[in-house]
Structure 1
């Protein structure tokens, strides 16, 4: 479960078993977790985050989408 980005209290990561799904990233903070699809960035699911925090996370992820896609492709496709 590689961490691909950290900012403030947030950790963005992939699960190694996610290879067969479209590119996405998981975000966790404390006991909260969300999953965002990449290309285009959109929320897949969220547990524990407030709606305004999900919106802020979506904007943050959109700003680093290219780097996250690069990390996804490097991790899953070498």
Structure 2
């Protein structure tokens, strides 16, 4: 599970066996978790257990780091 970013206790990562799905990122903090698609469009699949302020942090971080996340995904799965 490559970690891409840790921000305010929120971990952004992807699983190492998910290259058959479109590019996306998972997020977790404590018991909260989520999944956000990065392609074809940036779209929240789910954010469960996060506060509204944490959801805002997550969405802003994904928007800011989207190209970096895609780059890391492609580097990992297109070895």
Are 1:72 and 2:78 matched, yes or no?
Answer: no
CA deviation after TM superposition for structure 1 residue 55, in Å = 3.4
Whether 1:7 aligns to 2:7 is yes
Structure 2: stretches of 5+ with no match in the other structure: none
Unaligned runs of 5+ in 1: none
1:29 counterpart residue number: 29
Cα drift, residue 68 of structure 1:
0.4
Q: TM-score if structure 2 supplies the norm length?
A: 0.87
Report deviation, 1:59: 1.7
What CA distance in whole angstroms lies between the structure 2 residues aligned with 1:75 and 1:20?
Answer: 13
What residue in structure 2 maps to residue 53 of structure 1? 54
By percentage of residues, which structure has more helix?
1
